[in-house]
């Protein structure tokens, strides 16, 4: 796929050809061109960073840091997300329709779910693909990654019973500089979906799934004014659960 010129994102030679952006030979060229972000490799890892900036590059790593700790087998089932989604049943498949950086998907995969991870933004899709290539086999083997529009993909018929997880992007809850950096960079690439778009995706998911779980800020209104069956509540976020009758 040809890269489409943009002043926002510069792509170094090692960036995937599927990512639209301005092709540059070096980070210095990206900075000179006025690019806000550059995509390339740092220490063998596909990453996103601000050319000339001092921030830690953004990448996807499923096996280290705080996320690696949360993925420990003896911890993952205690996560509120896993409690909201439940444990997998025969002939069920879980669709994470708002992939992002894959953190929630990794928790669900380690809880035993066979999972379809959908991310429509090509930059995030590329970061996820690179992260999965380096992930532990027990996790990577549970996840099928797609670059697609979730509403369109969900409209396709399936013989499997679907459970859908949605995490519409909303302002950061953590006040740390790292979280603010990640959120800002992601919003430069992909502005957050409005409530109307999120409500439309929820409606599409509910029309095709046995169960839908939506992540929301603790005091946010119900997405699309749809009253959930029940909620799993934490200190700053909640998970709204919608059960659909069997057809």
Domain boundaries, the chain: 1-59, 65-243
Residue 6 confidence (pLDDT)? 41
pTM of the model: 0.88
Separation between Cα atoms, residue 98 and residue 119, nearest integer Å = 6
Residue 127 confidence (pLDDT)? 96
Q: Does domain 65-243 have CATH number 3.40.50.2300?
A: no
Is the Cβ–Cβ distance between 10 and 22 less than 8 Å?
Answer: yes
Residue 169 confidence (pLDDT)? 66
Mean pLDDT by 10 residues, the chain (247 residues): 55 95 95 94 95 93 60 72 93 94 92 94 95 92 95 87 87 54 80 80 93 94 93 95 81
Which residues are annotated as part of the binding site for S-adenosyl-L-methionine? 103-104, 119-120, 167
Which residues are annotated as part of the binding site? 103-104, 119-120, 167
Residue 47 confidence (pLDDT)? 96
Among 86, 63, 142, 144, CA closest to 110 = 142
Residue 31 confidence (pLDDT)? 95
Q: 3-class DSSP state for residue 24?
A: coil
Quote the tokens at residue 87. 């444990």
Separation between Cα atoms, residue 132 and residue 145, nearest integer Å = 9
């Amino acid at each position: 796929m040809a890269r489409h010129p943009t002043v926002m994102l510069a792509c170094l030679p090692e960036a995937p050809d599927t990512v639209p952006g301005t092709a540059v030979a070096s980070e210095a060229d990206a900075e000179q061109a006025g690019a806000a972000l550059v995509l390339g490799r740092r220490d063998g890892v596909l990453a996103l960073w601000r050319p000339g900036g001092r921030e830690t590059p953004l990448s996807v790593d499923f096996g280290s840091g705080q996320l690696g700790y949360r993925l420990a087998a003896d911890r993952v089932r205690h996560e509120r997300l896993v409690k909201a989604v439940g444990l997998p049943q025969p002939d069920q498949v879980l669709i994470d329709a708002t992939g992002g950086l894959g953190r929630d998907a990794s928790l669900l995969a380690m809880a035993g779910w066979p999972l379809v991870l959908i991310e429509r933004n090509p930059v995030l899709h590329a970061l996820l693909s690179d992260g999965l290539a380096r992930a532990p086999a027990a996790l990577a083997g549970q996840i099928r990654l797609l670059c697609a529009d979730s509403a369109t993909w969900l409209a396709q018929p399936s013989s499997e019973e679907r459970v859908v997880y949605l995490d519409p992007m909303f302002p950061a809850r953590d006040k740390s500089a790292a979280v603010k950096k990640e959120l800002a960079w992601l919003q430069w690439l992909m502005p957050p979906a409005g409530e109307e778009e999120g409500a439309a995706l929820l409606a599409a998911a509910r029309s095709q799934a046995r169960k839908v779980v939506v992540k929301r800020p603790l005091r946010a209104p119900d997405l699309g004014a749809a009253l959930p069956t029940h909620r799993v509540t934490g200190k700053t976020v909640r998970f709204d659960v919608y059960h659909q009758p069997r057809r």
